[in-house]
Amino acid sequence: MVINENSSLLITGGTGSFGKKFVDIILSQFPNIRRLVIYSRDELKQYEMAQQYSSQNYPGIRYFIGDIRDNQRLMLAFEGIDIVIHAAALKQVPTAEYNPMECIKTNVLGAENVIQSALNTQVKQVIALSTDKAAAPINLYGATKLCSDKLFIAANNIKGNRDLTFSVVRYGNVMGSRGSVIPFFLKKRHEGILPITDPQMTRFNISLEEGVEMVLWSIENSRGGEILVPKMPSYRVTDIAKAIGPQCKHTIIGLRPGEKIHEELITTSDSTSTVKVGDYFAILPVNMNYTLEEYCQLTGAELVPVGFSYNSGDNNHFLTISEIQSLIQKHVDPSFTA
């Protein structure tokens, strides 16, 4: 699909970091969009967001209080919507380990509610946001997101004759998002000590703008059933510490429960069903109405080598300290100086 002024969009978790950036970019391109629904359960964040994006200035915007655990509320919100971006989730790894059923209720059962609501309304397309932690998960958060990914991909098999597709976008750490390492280090550096869980730790890096661009690309180019993964640079967490607090003491505190040393977005087991599509990879489903060869013919994609994997520790592009500092100034804090 192509987004234009006549589109009707809804984003779950719309008051989060991604949601706010998505809304900002959509309204900058289509200020008179027919309908843009911000669906979340935090009334304060919605109030604050409405100060910036009011219905007076943007007549198509709507703020819906609701939880993805509430199927009836979702179905009401989905009425008249063409495209759903599913960004709502419980995302903190330690919180999920301590509160497992709450994480399951939101990330797994909530995903099923989004699917059922789309099937029972006139929604044309659903793009669900995933995480690197869903690839070979070792923590509960990653396991719930893997379940969510599987639900969205399998939903293409039960849509019947509906004009509806489900796809997944999976990427790594978003630079500057709430709870991520960069804003944490920016805050801690004034104390003179930066705690590092493991000196070997690496992460992929993507900005909020790049994450939104990928979702917009997916809306226009996905065929349904793909798990789409962007090609991204990596960084070493020790380099983040050097970039932010070169004069700080760096203490090693050990891995947190469920934490990985490296991020993995595509496993070797996925390689037999993975293709390269421009700036992205696509992991294709086994049970779909197209083959790998047909997908490549239709999209110009290329098969990856058997045994291929996409891991932040083995990446061929690592950000330098100066590049990290420039990106922090651009995407996180314009006033930042090392």
d(CA 75, CA 201): 42
The answer to which of 278-282, 321-325, 329-333 has the lowest mean pLDDT is 329-333
pLDDT band at 180 (very low <50, low <70, confident <90, very high): confident
Is residue 140, in this structure, part of any structural domain at all? yes
DSSP bridge partners of 3: none
Place of tokens 């996905």: 222
Q: What is the mean pLDDT of residues 274-290?
A: 89
- The token duo for 68 is 């993805």
Query: For residue 258, what pLDDT is reported?
Result: 73
Is residue 280, in this structure, part of any structural domain at all? no
Query: For residue 271, what pLDDT is reported?
Result: 93
Is residue 48, in this structure, part of any structural domain at all? yes
Please report how the helices 237-244 and 321-331 are oriented relative to each other, as an axis angle in degrees rounded to 10: 70
Radius of gyration of the chain (CA): 20
Q: Residue 175 in contact with residue 206, Cβ under 8 Å?
A: yes
Where in the sequence numbering do the catalytic residues fall? Answer: 133
pLDDT band at 256 (very low <50, low <70, confident <90, very high): confident
pLDDT band at 255 (very low <50, low <70, confident <90, very high): confident
Burial of 314 (0-12, 13-18, 19+ CB in 10 A): exposed
pLDDT band at 14 (very low <50, low <70, confident <90, very high): very high
Q: Residue 83 in contact with residue 118, Cβ under 8 Å?
A: no
Instruction: Tell me the residue length of the chain.
Output: 338
Percent of the chain with pLDDT over 90: 87
pLDDT band at 292 (very low <50, low <70, confident <90, very high): confident
Domain that holds residue 17: 8-170
The answer to which of 94-98, 110-114, 155-159, 171-175 has the lowest mean pLDDT is 171-175
Nearest to 199 by CA among 249, 261, 257: 261
Nearest to 186 by CA among 38, 37, 16, 331: 331
3-state secondary structure at position 220: helix
Q: CA-CA distances (angstroms) from residue 155 to 112, 149, 160, 195?
A: 9, 10, 10, 42
Query: For residue 145, what pLDDT is reported?
Result: 97
Please report how the helices 17-29 and 208-221 are oriented relative to each other, as an axis angle in degrees rounded to 10: 60
Is residue 165, in this structure, part of any structural domain at all? yes
Q: What is the mean pLDDT of residues 296-315?
A: 93
Query: For residue 273, what pLDDT is reported?
Result: 94
d(CA 242, CA 281): 31
Query: For residue 259, what pLDDT is reported?
Result: 81
* Residues whose CB is less than 8 angstroms from the CB of residue 184 and which lie 6 or more positions away in sequence, other chains included: none
Q: What is the mean pLDDT of residues 179-206?
A: 92
Query: For residue 146, what pLDDT is reported?
Result: 97
Q: pLDDT, tens digit, for every residue of 16-31?
A: 989 999 999 999 999 9
Is residue 305, in this structure, part of any structural domain at all? no
Q: How far is CA 10 from the centre of its chain?
A: 15
Residue 44's CB: how many other CB atoms inside 10 A? 8
Nearest to 214 by CA among 232, 198, 196: 232
Q: What is the mean pLDDT of residues 5-11?
A: 97
Query: For residue 175, what pLDDT is reported?
Result: 87
Q: pLDDT, tens digit, for every residue of 34-84?
A: 999 999 999 999 999 999 999 999 999 999 999 999 999 999 999 999 999
- The token duo for 120 is 């029972």
Nearest to 298 by CA among 213, 224, 210: 224
Query: For residue 317, what pLDDT is reported?
Result: 94
Q: pLDDT, tens digit, for every residue of 123-149?
A: 999 999 999 999 989 999 999 999 999
Query: For residue 129, what pLDDT is reported?
Result: 98
pLDDT band at 235 (very low <50, low <70, confident <90, very high): very high
Nearest to 125 by CA among 227, 20, 225: 225
The three-state (H, E, C) secondary structure of 157-177, written as one string: HCCCCCCCEEEEECCCCECCC
Greatest CA separation found in the chain? 62
Q: In total, how many domains does the chain have? A: 1
**Mean pLDDT, all residues of the chain:** 94
The whole model's pTM is what? 0.93
Is residue 241, in this structure, part of any structural domain at all? no
Q: CA-CA distances (angstroms) from residue 48 to 16, 24, 44, 166?
A: 12, 14, 6, 31
Percent of the chain with pLDDT over 70: 100
Instruction: Report the CATH number that the domain containing residue 123 is assigned in CATH.
Output: 3.40.50.720
CA angle in degrees (0–180, nearest 5) for 90-269-173: 35
